[in-house]
Amino acid sequence: MNVNGASVPALSLQRVRKVYAMGDSEVVALDDVDLEVAPGEIVALVGPSGSGKTTLCSIAGAILSPTSGRVVVAGTDISGFNPKQLTAVRRDLVGFVFQSVNLVPFLTARENLLVVDEIGKRTGAPARARADQLLGELGLADRAKNLPAQLSGGQRQRVAIGRALMNDPKLVLFDEPTSALDSKLGMAVMELIQQEMKARGTAAIVVTHDERITRFCDRSVHMDDGRITKS
Amino acid sequence: MKLALRELRRRPGRFGAAGLILTLIALLLMFLGGLLDGLIRSSTGAMYALDGDVVVYTASAEDSFLRSRIEPTLRSTVDGVDGVASSAGIGVVQLGARLADKGPRDLLDVVVFGPEAPPLGVDALPGDGEAIADTTLQEQGVQVGTELSVGPARSTLTVVGFVEDTQYLGQAALWTNPETWRTVLTDNRPDQQLGDGVFQALTVRVDDGAVAADVADAIDIATGRSTASLTVVAAAEGLPGVEQQTATFNQIIGVTVGIAVVVVALFFALLTVERASLYGVLKAVGARSGTLFGGLVLQAVVLSAVACVIAGSAAIALDAVIPPGSIPLRISGTRIGQSAVFLLVAAVIGCAFSLRRLLRVDPASAIGSGS
Amino acid sequence: MFLALKELQRAKVRFGLLIAAVALLVFLILFQQSLQNGLLTSFVGAIRNQSAEVLVYRTDGRRILQGSVISPDLEAMVRSSGAAAEVARIGQGTFTVTPGEGGDGVPIETSILGYEDPGLGAPTTLVEGRLPEGPGEAVASDADAELGFGVGDTVTVLPGGLDITVVGLARDVQLNVTPTLFVTYDTYVQSVRSRNPDAGEPLPNVLALRAPPDVPADRLVDQVNGLSDELDTLTRADAADKAPGVAQVRQSFQVIFLLYGFVVPLVTGLFFLIITFQKASALTLLRAIGAPARTLLTSLLVQVVVVLGGGLLLGIGLYAALVRGRIGGIPLRFETTAVLVWTALLVAGGLLSSLFSARRVMALDPYAATTGAGVGS
**DSSP assignment of C60-85, as one string?**
GGTT-TTT----HHHHHHHHHH--SS
Which chain C residue is nearest to residue B152, measuring alpha carbons? Answer: C60
Nearest CA to CA, how far is C370 from chain A (Å)? 13
CA C104 to chain centre: 28
**Same domain, residue pair C356 and C321:** yes
Is B265 in the C-facing interface, judged by CB distances under 8 Å?
yes
Which of C241, C266, C295 corresponds to the end of one domain? C241
pLDDT digits (tens, 9 = 90+) for B132-188: 999 999 988 999 999 999 998 999 999 999 999 999 988 899 999 999 999 999 998
Q: Can you tell me whether residue C138 is helix, strand or coil?
A: strand
CB spacing of B24 vs C259 below 8 angstroms? yes
Which chain B residue is nearest to residue A147, measuring alpha carbons? Answer: B10
Domain spans, chain B = 2-43+242-365, 46-237
**Same domain, residue pair C340 and C273:** yes
Which of C195, C215, C241 corresponds to the end of one domain? C241
- Mean pLDDT highest for which of B106-110, B326-330, C115-119? C115-119
Give the nearest partner residue to C263 out of B24, B31, B105, using CB atoms: B24
Q: Can you tell me whether residue B153 is helix, strand or coil?
A: coil
CB spacing of C14 vs B273 below 8 angstroms? yes
Nearest CA to CA, how far is B105 from chain C (Å)? 6
**Same domain, residue pair C148 and C180:** yes
**Same domain, residue pair C23 and C107:** no
Q: For residues A153 and A174, what is the distance between their CA atoms, to the nearest angstrom?
A: 16
Q: Which residues contact B323 (CB under 8 A, 6 or more apart)?
A: none
Residue C377 forms part of a structural domain? no
Which chain A residue is nearest to residue B12, measuring alpha carbons? Answer: A106
The rounded percent of chain B whose pLDDT value lies above 70 is 98
Nearest CA to CA, how far is A180 from chain C (Å)? 10
Is C175 in the B-facing interface, judged by CB distances under 8 Å?
no
Give the nearest partner residue to B366 out of A49, A102, A176, using CB atoms: A102
Query: CATH 3.40.50.300 residue ranges in chain A?
Result: 9-93+170-231
Query: How many domains does one find in chain C?
Result: 2
pLDDT band at A4 (very low <50, low <70, confident <90, very high): very low
Return per-residue pLDDT of chain C as tens, 377 residues. 566 777 777 777 778 888 888 898 899 889 888 888 888 888 899 999 999 999 999 998 888 898 888 999 999 999 999 999 999 999 999 888 999 887 777 888 899 999 999 999 999 999 999 999 989 999 999 888 888 999 999 999 987 889 999 999 999 999 988 899 999 999 999 998 888 777 778 899 999 999 999 999 999 999 999 999 999 999 999 999 988 878 878 888 888 888 888 888 888 887 787 777 777 777 777 777 777 777 788 888 888 888 899 999 999 999 998 887 776 667 788 889 999 999 998 888 888 888 888 887 777 776 665 544 433 33
Nearest CA to CA, how far is A149 from chain C (Å)? 9
Residues spanned by the domain of C214: 45-241
CB spacing of B281 vs A98 below 8 angstroms? yes
**Same domain, residue pair C140 and C267:** no
Q: Which of residues 85-114 of B touch C (CB under 8 A)?
A: 94-96, 104-105, 107, 109
Looking at the domain that runs over A9-93+170-231, which CATH code has it been given? 3.40.50.300
Contact status, residue B50 vs residue B171, Cβ threshold 8 Å: no
Residue C206 forms part of a structural domain? yes
Q: Give the other-Cβ count within 10 Å of B313's Cβ.
A: 12
Residue C361 forms part of a structural domain? yes
* Mean of per-residue pLDDT scores for chain A: 87
Which of C195, C213, C241 corresponds to the end of one domain? C241
**Same domain, residue pair C25 and C54:** no
pLDDT digits (tens, 9 = 90+) for B175-199: 999 999 999 999 988 878 888 889 9
**Same domain, residue pair C231 and C325:** no
Residue C138 forms part of a structural domain? yes
More confident residue, B346 or B242: B346
Q: What are phi and psi of B320, to 5 degrees?
A: -75, -35
Q: Which of residues 160-199 of A touch C (CB under 8 A)?
A: 180
* All chains having 3 or more CB pairs closer than 8 angstroms to chain C: A, B
Is C322 in the B-facing interface, judged by CB distances under 8 Å?
no
Contact status, residue B57 vs residue B227, Cβ threshold 8 Å: yes
Chain B residues whose beta carbon lies within 8 Å of the beta carbon of residue A96: 281, 284-285, 366-367
Is B256 in the C-facing interface, judged by CB distances under 8 Å?
yes
Nearest CA to CA, how far is B259 from chain C (Å)? 6
Which of C195, C254, C255 best probes binding to B when mutated, by most B CB atoms within 10 angstroms? C255
**Same domain, residue pair C233 and C280:** no
DSSP code at position B169: T
Give the nearest partner residue to B366 out of A49, A98, A176, using CB atoms: A98
Q: Which residues contact A57 (CB under 8 A, 6 or more apart)?
A: A45, A173, A175, A205, A207, B367, B368
Is C377 in the A-facing interface, judged by CB distances under 8 Å?
yes
